[in-house]
Amino acid sequence: MNGNLQRIHQITGILSETEWVNSRLTFHDPAAKNTFAECVLRTPYCTILRWFIPAGDIVKMHIHAESCEVLIVETGELPLQLDKEQQDLGPGNSIRIPPRAPHGCYRPLVEDSVVLGITLPPAKEFDEPKGVRDGNGTTCIGSTSTPV
């Protein structure tokens, strides 16, 4: 366990209920066909996923109905749209996304990226809101991910 994960483990304070998982999650969306996540930590109170997003992929707009999410860019970039605002995040940048806030990438990534995602409480699923438009004005439809 590296130093960052040890610190996260200390912060959660749930030694007996912590499950370290190496499962892989993938999107059901052709725009994110090569994007996947590895589950780093799952407790009853939070889930930590390390997302691997290759250049050319895009994560479409979606919401987490009951979970707050914190995204931390480890490497690469994250062209994030949060509700109607767009911002470019780079290595070391982080952002907090409140529950029910539409978010995703407003354009395909131009470089391979790794993003740490922490959801509190653990996200049960990714719901794509009807009528939400991505950065290109495209209406989002369908499910963006498998349940976590």
What does the pLDDT average to over 8-17? 46
How far, rounded to the nearest angstrom, does the alpha carbon of residue 29 sit from its chain's CA centroid? 15
Q: Per DSSP, which regions of the chain are E strands?
A: 24-26, 36-42, 47-53, 68-75, 78-82, 85-89, 94-97, 103-105, 113-120
59-63, 79-83, 100-104, 139-143 — which is least confidently predicted?
A: 139-143
Q: Does the domain at residues 3-120 carry the CATH identifier 2.60.120.10?
A: yes
Would you give the DSSP letter of residue 137?
A: S
Q: Please report, as a single letter, which amino acid is at residue 19.
A: E
Rg of the chain in Å (alpha carbons): 15
Report which secondary-structure segment, H or E, holds 3. helix 3-12
Kindly report the number of other CB atoms within 10 A of residue 55's CB atom.
13
3-7, 20-24, 91-95, 120-124 — which is least confidently predicted?
A: 3-7
Model-level pTM? 0.72
Per-residue pLDDT tens over the stretch 49-80: 899 999 999 888 888 888 999 999 999 999 99
Q: What is the dihedral of CA 15, 16, 22, 23, to 10 degrees?
A: -130
What does the pLDDT average to over 126-140? 42
Q: For a pLDDT cut of 90, what percent of the chain falls above it?
A: 41
Q: Is a pLDDT exceeding 50 seen at residue 135?
A: no
Q: Name the residue with higher pLDDT: 104 or 9.
A: 104
Split at pLDDT 50, 70, 90, the class of 10 is low
pLDDT at 26: 59
CA dist., res. 78 & res. 113, Å (int): 7
pLDDT at 75: 97
What does the pLDDT average to over 20-34? 63
